[in-house]
Chain A
């Protein structure tokens, strides 16, 4: 049945080469943990991506209940956490995943660094990787404010103070991020929400796309 569906589509759109480019390629022996157990270090990049997928999915479902409004934000989080079936699980996935993704990404960075895999011809991919790192940190930072509890508020206060201490443009930068010169409030929350949910994920998907295209073009770096 499934084969028939596949053939039907393939006959019209010739998707087999596409599929082959995307997924049907050999894993070199030196990166396959089944051959050398130490090759598990090559898994961290893929694990990072796996957790990113979980983050995107769980985040999408969280926005079914969450409202980025200073009056209702905390209540909506409380509701989805305590009243909605499996809400605690989904929020838990997003909460713990946010930390795990940073850990995995860091381990991946360490592997690339200590294996020298960033060297020619892979410099551009290292640069894109660093940009991904920054986007991820920004995602963590903006997501932290959204529950709108005391911890979120004061963490953001500190963040904005740090931004404000930038020479020359500090005050402007703070106002741009917070949406107000003095207040961390309604406009800050909507800004952080928009950045967390639309801007940064879009940037992330673009960068991850580039990251993967470059890996397919250049192949995985050879054994040490």
Chain B
């Protein structure tokens, strides 16, 4: 039981994600999480504003069942499988302290960014909103996210996916090294 309650190591989680890819492929589907955002925009009527959202979204509805499952899975994990605060590398803990983030190793998400008090400040609100915006915009521009490019795309040895993943890292490194010191 301890195995279930503790943090799952990489050699358990990685192969399980590969299993998900396999199950989706043999169901004639694909593994792509960000395309649901496009589907949701289309359902919300975004087709009135751009042809990009005028597609046969009914054929993408299956993917929303996965999203629903993911949310329920998260509920089960948070309620019953006692997720602990991730214990991360000491250097990372110290760096975050410099930025005023002290909830490291104590919370699943940094309270200094995600708690409600922070959301009610202008800066805190825009950090959350803009970070989501960049993820949504970037994923569609690149034609996929971590699941579509890094997992499915690299598994299919696609050059575009490799370029996209290199981009993910360029962006991530710029953010934590150049932009974090400016905003925190």
- Does A pair with B? no
State the B residues within 8 Å of A (CB). Answer: none
